[in-house]
Every structure is written in structure tokens, then in C-alpha cells.
Amino acid sequence: MSTFFGMETMRRAVNTNRTAIQTVGNNVANVNTPGYSRQRVNLQATGGYPATGVWTQPAMNGRVGSGVQVTGIERIRDQLLDRQYRAEAHVEGAAFIQYKILERMEDLYNEAPSDTTTSRLSDQFASFWNGWKELASGKDSQAVLLEQGKAVTDAFTHLQDSFQTEMDMLETEAELTTAKVNQILEQLHATNKDIIAAESSGQVPNELYDVQDRLLDQLSSLVPIQVSRSPKPPEHAATGAEGPYKVELKLGGSETITLVDATEEAPQLLTLEDGMQWTVGDSNQPFTYNGAGGGELVGLQKAHERVGQELEDIKALAQTFAKEVNQIYAFAYSEQGGFGQEFFTIHLDDSGAFSHISVNSELSNNPKALATARFNEEGIKPEYQDEFAEKWAAWENDKDNEEAFRDLLAFLNEADHYVDGKMIIEGNVDVAKEISRLEDSAAIIGKYKDMMGKLGVETKAQRDLTEASNARLANTESNRMAVSGVSLDEEMSLLIQFQHAYNAAARAMTAMDEMLDQIINRLGVVGR
């Protein structure tokens, strides 16, 4: 055993404890760093004297320890919790986007009970039907009714425009989110390179692992991913080395596409295609989702689809509404153009698809032209009664049959078919009555109520889903923090612990120093 054996032991102890204190300091410094996992110094007693082995016969009883050493500085993290967190983040990401958009649609309809709002579609409907009832009670309120008609078309157009705006906004958001995903992928790839370089020189780049884990947390709330360590760190790597990440995009079923792989030159990036679909890298295969999981991109895709559906539904409703009113109004006699006038004009866009509805401009410019008198069935000459009955039945049996409808109107518009002056009965308001009765027609009001009910239930379900997912995410995050979070109190305790160890080791070294002093300077001075 060497003279300086003890000195060496204490030197190691002082160094080691200083490293430990340095690590404590690093933890304290990063107490608020997002994604930081606390680090621990792994201490290990160094080999004792004499060393064990065949050739080293024990020259003494027992072994003297030679102190302590740092075997590694490890980050404390539970990979299982990471996996749990990311699995939940997919769900939460998708659910939140959808919940947000459903709630937005609900706000646009604003059909919840309220005594103050009067601008929603159901109110406009009510005023519109009442307007016809008013006319049916012989009041000269044509101008009022036309304004109410305009209010209904305005409400429809407003909803359509709003849904279209929402869709446009979702598309913009999808673009931004795609860019964010790609940015994260680039960063992951770059960090992978750094990790490989560090690990192959025997280092354990804890902060790089942390950076990657944080990026993956973010990524997993955007797209569904599956993560593995690949390749495994080389055998000669230091303890605690984790290796680079391989990130795969989860498709339907068990199918995956590799996004980031340490062996590749560059990551595979996502491209947003028309129709809210994504392709990965240079593949033409669109990125599709499966089941409830998803992430924000999938949430955006679903939300976009949902709003698109709502837009179609509200358009269909507007069209049905206009058509049903028109079908009855067509039988009102107007001085200007006989039977077959339109109350609502149904506008088409350039491609011939339904665009929007408005009140017939000829009527809104001239309210007095509004007709309420129905054709007079009894005024039809006896010899034409059979022909009338036939045409009426043909239309009544199939109200969508445009040809039968035109045919019937042509018949009704022929003055010769009536006993002189009996085309209509003066002051008749049957058409107004009939239109006001549409209020109870299942096709329009029932459908609107169904749409509201569906939206309400869906929003509620999605909110519950989001809240539940949120809570689970918070719990997992809490569990994760319980493992990886820095506790100042704990660090302080450790600080004191290591400080004392450091001080004590220094003191032991001093004792050793004094012993040597005794031997070197004081020994052999007897009788001097």
C-alpha cells in the first residue's frame, strides 16, 4: 500500500462530491426548464486493496477501500410514462381541435335558450311563418313579409359564409401545423446526428435526449407516431447512452411510414395536399388516420370534414326550404306573370351547384306584386276537369318531377281552361295559409331541429372526450414529473449531503496530510 494511498482516496472523494454538487447545481438551474429530466450522479466505490484475482494473494486480512468514483451522470426518466403520455397526446390533440370547431359552430347557430337573442335562424323562421299567417288574416303586410323573407335568406347566407370561413381557417391552420411538424422532424433528425456523434465518443448527452423527448411530446400531439431507439448504442458506449430515435408515422392498422431514421440522410417530410390530405416524403400515398387516435392534423382533417358536412347540410336545408315555399307559391296568381312565380330565387354557382337563396328581386322591388290567391279549382270548365285532375295527380305524386310541375302550371296559366273570370277568387289567401302551414312540415323545421340536436350531442360528447383526455394527460404528466421533475427541497438536501461529504473528505485529507507531516518532518528528530 502506497504512502499516498489515503491521499488518493480522499482526492477522489473530493472530486466526486464536487461533481455531485455540480450536478445538483445543474438540476437547480433547470428547475423550470420544460422537458428537463433531473440528473443523478451514479457513485460507485472503487476497487479495494489488494485487488481481487488469482495472482494477488491476500497479504492481509480484509481489504482497504480506495474511495469513490462517478460511473455516470444519468437522467431519471420513465420511458413507459413517455409512451403513455404520447399515446394520450394523440387523442387529446385530435379531440381538442374537433371540440373547438363544434363549439364554434354552436356559437354560430346560437340556438341555446335565451330571451335576448332574436337573430338566429329559428327566430327568423318563426317571423317568416307568422308573416304569412298575418297575410292570411287579410292584412296588407306584404312589405313586412318580404323583409322577413330576406331576414331568413340573410341568416342562411350568414351561416354558409361563416362555415366557409371556418373551413378556410382550418386549411390555413393545417398549413401552419404541417410546417410545425416538418420543423420538429428536421430538429429530431439533426439531434439524432449529434447524439450518434456524442455517444460514439463515449459521452452521454442527457440534454440532447431531453430535447428529443420534448420534441416528441410536441410531435405526438400533432401526428400519431411510434418511437423506438435505433440503432442501439454501440457496446463500447458509456453507461446511460440511449441511442438515436427512429420515428414512425402510424397509419391505419399496423402499417407505419418512417419519418426520421438516424441511418437516413434526411427526414421524410409531410406535404399538405388538396382536400386536407397529407403525403409523406415522395410517396403518393395519402396519410390516413385510423380510429380514435390522431393528433392535431387528423383533428383538423376531421373538423374540416365536419364543417364541410355542416355547410352541405345547411345548403341543402336552404334549398329545400326555398323549394317547398316556391312549390306552393307557384300556385299563387300574380298579375305580372300568372302562375309559376318564384318567391325565393335559388342561385347556382359557376359549376352549377347550389350557391345561395334570396327573395325574388321582382317581389322585393314591388311588394304589392306578392300574390296570395290560389287558382280556383272550381272555376275550371267542366270539360277540362279531368285533364286538370290528371295533371294535378301527376305532380302531387312526385313533387320533384319538374316536368309534371311545368305541365301543370302551363295548364293552369291557360285562361281558356276557366269559366270567364274564375281563374282566381278575388281576395283569396289560400296560398298564404298553405305556406304558413309549412311551419309544421317535417322536411324543414324537423331537419333543422335534428341538425341542432345532433350538433349539441356531438359537441357534448367531444367536450367530454377532450376533458377526459385532458385529465388523463395531466395525470400522466404528473406521474412523469413525479419521476423526472426537479425538487428544490430534495436538491437542497442533496447539496448539504454532498457538501458535508466534500468537507469531510477534505478534512480526512488534512488528517492524512498531518500524518505525513508527522512522518516527514517530525520523525527522527529525537534528541535534537
β-bridge pairing 245-250 and 39-45: unpaired
CA dihedral 208, 209, 213, 219 (to 10 degrees): 50
* Candidate ranges 211-219, 323-331, 347-355, 445-453; the one touching another protein (CB under 8 A): 445-453
DSSP state of 46: P
Q: Residue 230 or residue 487: which is nearer to another protein going by CB?
A: 487
- Residue closest to 80 by CA, chosen among 468, 480, 471, 484: 480
State in angstroms the smallest separation of the CB of 10 from another protein. 26
* Candidate ranges 54-62, 90-98, 161-169, 489-497; the one touching another protein (CB under 8 A): 489-497
Choice from 367, 447, 456, 472 touching another protein (CB under 8 A): 456
State in angstroms the smallest separation of the CB of 113 from another protein. 4
Subset of 87-126 contacting another protein (CB under 8 A): 102-103, 106-107, 109, 111-116, 122-123, 126
Q: Residue 181 or residue 445: which is nearer to another protein going by CB?
A: 445
- Site for another protein contains 169 (CB under 8 A): no
State in angstroms the smallest separation of the CB of 146 from another protein. 17
d(C-alpha 221, C-alpha 89), whole Å: 5
Q: Residue 305 or residue 467: which is nearer to another protein going by CB?
A: 467
- Site for another protein contains 426 (CB under 8 A): yes
Q: Residue 66 or residue 162: which is nearer to another protein going by CB?
A: 162
> Tell me, what amino acid is at 37?
S
d(C-alpha 339, C-alpha 358), whole Å: 20
**Residue 38, Ramachandran bin (φ over 0: left; ψ between -120 and 50: alpha; else beta):** beta
Mark 28-67 with x for binding to another protein (rule: CB under 8 A) and - for no binding.
Answer: ---xx-----------------------------------
Q: Which residue has the cell 282566381?
A: 424
Phi, psi of 121 (to 5 degrees): -60, -40
- Site for another protein contains 482 (CB under 8 A): yes
What cell numbers appear for 506 in the block? 477534505
d(C-alpha 2, C-alpha 372), whole Å: 120
Is there a cis peptide before residue 50, judged by omega within 30 degrees of 0?
yes
- What Å distances lie between residue 456 and 269, 302, 463, CA to CA? 37, 17, 10
Residues in the chain, how many? 528
> Where are the extended beta strands (E) located within 296-379?
344-348, 354-359
Size of the site for another protein (CB under 8 A): 62
State in angstroms the smallest separation of the CB of 379 from another protein. 12
- Site for another protein contains 483 (CB under 8 A): yes
- Site for another protein contains 463 (CB under 8 A): yes
Q: Residue 298 or residue 445: which is nearer to another protein going by CB?
A: 445
* Candidate ranges 13-21, 215-223, 256-264, 423-431; the one touching another protein (CB under 8 A): 423-431
DSSP class per residue in 247-284:
EEEE-STT-EEEEE-TTSSSPPPEEEETTTEEEETT--
State in angstroms the smallest separation of the CB of 302 from another protein. 17
Q: Which stretches of the chain bind another protein, using CB under 8 A?
A: 31-32, 102-103, 106-107, 109, 111-116, 122-123, 126-127, 129-130, 133-134, 136-139, 421, 425-429, 433, 436, 439-440, 445, 449, 452-453, 455-460, 463, 474, 477-479, 481-483, 485-490, 492-493, 496
